[in-house]
Amino acid sequence: MEKIQIICNPNAGRQILQKSLPKLINTLQNQKNIRVDINYTTKALDAKNMAIEGCHQEYDLIITVGGDGTVNEVVNGIMVSDRKPKLAIYPAGTVNDFGNYLKIPKSVENFSTMILKGNTTKVDVGLARERYFLNVAAAGLLPEVAHRVSSEAKTVLGKFAYYIEGIKEFSKLRFKPMKITLKHNGREEEKEILFFILANSPSVGGFKYVAPQAKINDGHLDLLIVENNQLMDVAGIFLKALMGNHTNHPGLQYIQVQEFTIHTEGIVDLDLDGELGGRLPANFSVKKHGIEVIIP
Ligand SMILES: Nc1ncnc2c1ncn2[C@@H]1O[C@H](COP(=O)(O)OP(=O)(O)OP(=O)(O)O)[C@@H](O)[C@H]1O
């Protein structure tokens, strides 16, 4: 008997895919050897705690139904548990970077077929101090913009809410650059930066090619640092980023890392998979092939 736990954030995204859950559960339970249980989250950290419980209860597979934040919590639950069930992502949030990158189907029929076929791959998991992330860690201007977008605006406008807020933020020039010390490969560099992005997959914040060389199973994370450029340069980097040909822009540093530390002057919020996830300074590392994910 295969035991499947579904962890669903009923409020994620535009709450569309959640409506097809009864059909998903029916399809799976119509198989002879499958038992499905469903848990609904009501607040932050529910998904993490439910996943920890699921690991104890010997589920074989946890399906997340929600956005990147729900996936992040479930990954954290699995990573702190000794027994690690497989993970499947039903992308029901606003952005769904990791799910989109894996080309996870959104139709309930194709998603169920994927689950029943059960193809998997092992993917790397990032660690920022003691918190894990599956797709991205970031700090500075960019995540600040993302957190200013209200969840209502996100629900109605989707990705465009970020871009609108981004343009407002740039035009007001309210953002102060961050002073950081980057320790990597035994070297130490001081920089004044606007933001950094540490990516596991190429796809970040709805942009498909932010870290064009990133591979989710190579044991590395791709670090992009945008230095304190002129506004026009930053706009140029964004435009080029749409096509993924921004990485040799002179105002940007792009390296692959396994372990590094960022020290900041003062405390800076850290974004993990699109949600507030702790603070800088922090050190970062990667757990190679830390989690097994179902793929099409
Ligand atoms: N029932 C709930 N109502 C409101 N918030 C919730 C609920 N359950 C969990 N949360 C919180 O909402 C956060 C965001 O959820 P999630 O990422 O699934 O959706 P989203 O923000 O719409 O999607 P995305 O991250 O892709 O933009 C979670 O990290 C969690 O802290």
ipTM: 0.95
pTM of the model: 0.90
> Cis omega before residue 281 (within 30°)?
yes
> Residue 230 CB: number of other CB atoms within 10 A?
9
Which pLDDT score, from 0 to 100, does residue 131 have? 96
Which pLDDT score, from 0 to 100, does residue 15 have? 81
Residue 294 falls inside a structural domain: no
Residue 23 sits in the same domain as residue 114: yes
Residue 58 sits in the same domain as residue 99: yes
User: What's the CA dihedral at 199, 205, 206, 209 to 10 degrees?
Assistant: -30
Residue 170 sits in the same domain as residue 284: yes
Q: If you take atom 28 of ligand 1, which residue's CA is the nearest one?
A: 69
Measured distance between the N- and C-terminal CA atoms of the chain, rounded to whole angstroms: 22
Which pLDDT score, from 0 to 100, does residue 287 have? 97
Residue 140 falls inside a structural domain: yes
Residue 101 sits in the same domain as residue 140: no
User: Of 127, 58, 44, 126, nearest to 86 (Cα)?
Assistant: 58
Q: Is any ligand 1 atom within 6 A of the Cβ of residue 67?
A: yes
Dihedral of alpha carbons 164, 165, 167, 168, sign = positive
| Cα–Cα distance for residue pair 114/117, rounded to 1 Å | 5
Which pLDDT score, from 0 to 100, does residue 152 have? 64
Domain limit, last residue, from 118, 143, 176:
118
Which pLDDT score, from 0 to 100, does residue 54 have? 98
Domain limit, last residue, from 95, 118, 141:
118
Q: What share of the chain is helix, strand, coil (3-state, %, to 5)?
A: 30, 35, 30
Residue 138 sits in the same domain as residue 114: no
Structural domain tally of the chain?
2
Residue 171 falls inside a structural domain: yes
Residue 233 sits in the same domain as residue 87: no
User: Of 193, 182, 293, nearest to 233 (Cα)?
Assistant: 193
Q: What is the CATH number of the domain that holds 51?
A: 3.40.50.10330
Dihedral of alpha carbons 218, 192, 95, 90, sign = positive
Domain limit, last residue, from 118, 141, 160:
118
Which pLDDT score, from 0 to 100, does residue 264 have? 87
Residue 101 sits in the same domain as residue 32: yes
> Residue 72 CB: number of other CB atoms within 10 A?
26
Residue 247's domain comprises 133-288
Residue 121's identity, in one-letter code, is: T
The tokens for 278 are 């702790």
Residue 195 falls inside a structural domain: yes
Residue 114 sits in the same domain as residue 177: no
- The DSSP bridge pattern shows strands 136-140 and 187-199 to be antiparallel
Residue 172 sits in the same domain as residue 77: no
Point out the ligand 1 atom lying closest to the alpha carbon of residue 47.
Answer: 9
Residue 31 sits in the same domain as residue 98: yes
User: Of 193, 68, 183, 194, nearest to 132 (Cα)?
Assistant: 68
Residue 293 falls inside a structural domain: no
Point out the ligand 1 atom lying closest to the alpha carbon of residue 9.
Answer: 8
User: Of 139, 146, 205, nearest to 177 (Cα)?
Assistant: 139
Residue 114 sits in the same domain as residue 188: no
Mean pLDDT by 10 residues, the chain (296 residues): 96 85 94 94 98 97 96 98 97 89 95 96 97 94 67 60 62 71 86 90 86 96 85 70 77 89 86 88 95 98
Residue 126 falls inside a structural domain: no
| Cα–Cα distance for residue pair 231/173, rounded to 1 Å | 9
Residue to substitute in 39, 48, 50, 70 for testing ligand 1 pocket (most ligand atoms within 8 angstroms of CB): 70
Active site residues: 275
The tokens for 45 are 């950290």
> Residue 8 CB: number of other CB atoms within 10 A?
22
Residue 296 falls inside a structural domain: no
Q: Burial, 42: exposed, middle or buried (Cβ in 10 Å; 0-12, 13-18, 19+)?
A: exposed
Q: What's the 118 CA to ligand 1 centre distance in angstroms?
A: 26
Q: If you take atom 24 of ligand 1, which residue's CA is the nearest one?
A: 67
Residue 127 falls inside a structural domain: no
